[in-house]
Amino acid sequence: MENQIGSSANNQLVALVTGANQGVGFQIAKALAANGYSVYVGSRNLKNGEKAAAEIGTNAYAIQLDVTQPSTIRATANRIEKEHGRLDLLVNNAGISHAGKPGRTLEEITEDGRASTASLDEVRTVWETNVFGVIAVTQAMLPLLRKSSAARIVNVSSGLGSLTWIADPACWAREHFGVVYAASKTALNAVTMAFAIELEKENIKVNAVSPGFTATALNNFQGTDSVEVGSREPVRVALETDGPTATFTGPEGSLPW
């Protein structure tokens, strides 16, 4: 397989999608592969990644990647370096909504995320994936992204992370804002902007995108949109090779930071 991948290294665009074994990440990886990208399907559990890559078919390659484990991040960077020598697109999709007792409803998870009572252990665990994991993976992939002629980074965020929205008393999302998941997406937006500002002079585009309220494992499948619908905007941004940088968009268009 390595020889096959290596032989196409010069002309095939290369993408890495974290958390790509299910949900929105899987849909993004599937769309990229369908558009001719050589896609690394990042998954904490390699068997799940292999199953997803097999389902996607041509151009999809499973890779074990836990964004909270530096050793797997390094191994991923080394493999991409060896097989392609560069990375054209990084999609930071891996994310978790909670780390507390399993089986809770979305309402219970929201209640447990209240600033006054949230478990600090749960806050740390969620932020480890949603914020620090994104920084770690992006830093590790930057040397490879710098070797691309049109590098892009897409961070999968959430409308819940918009402070402008949350500050509006009439906003539907206000009551769902807590320090576990929602605030982690606010922090992710800030991280997105920090990378976008720094990398703009190198012509590396960095954008945040919200899938909207999509039914995934993140919310016990209580979302109102299918993963196919939810992945449309992330896919659009991921495929846009000559678009803007430092944007935050969702299914309805531009979102306020």
Classify the phi-psi angles of 33: left when phi > 0, otherwise alpha if psi is within -120 to 50, otherwise beta.
alpha
Strand partners, 249: 209, 254
Q: What is the DSSP string of 173-238?
A: TGGG--TTTHHHHHHHHHHHHHHHHHHGGGT-EEEEE---SB-SGGGTT--SB-HHHHTHHHHHHH
Catalytic residue among 37, 40, 61, 185: 185
* H and E: helices and strands count for the chain: 11, 8
Q: Is the distance from CB of 220 to CB of 125 less than 8 angstroms?
A: no
Options 40, 61, 181, 205, the catalytic residue: 181
Q: Decide: 216 and 230 in contact? Cβ < 8 Å.
A: yes
In three-state secondary structure terms, 61 is strand
Distance CA 13, CA 32 (A): 9
**Span between the terminal Cα atoms of the chain, in Å:** 43
Identify whether 101 is a catalytic site residue.
no
CA angle, corner 175, sides to 169 and 180, nearest 5?
125
Strand 60-64 relative to strand 89-92, pairing: unpaired
Residue 193, classified by CB atoms within 10 Å of its CB into exposed (0-12), middle (13-18) or buried (19+), is: middle
- Asked about 205 being catalytic, the answer comes back as no
Q: Which residues are catalytic?
A: 181, 185
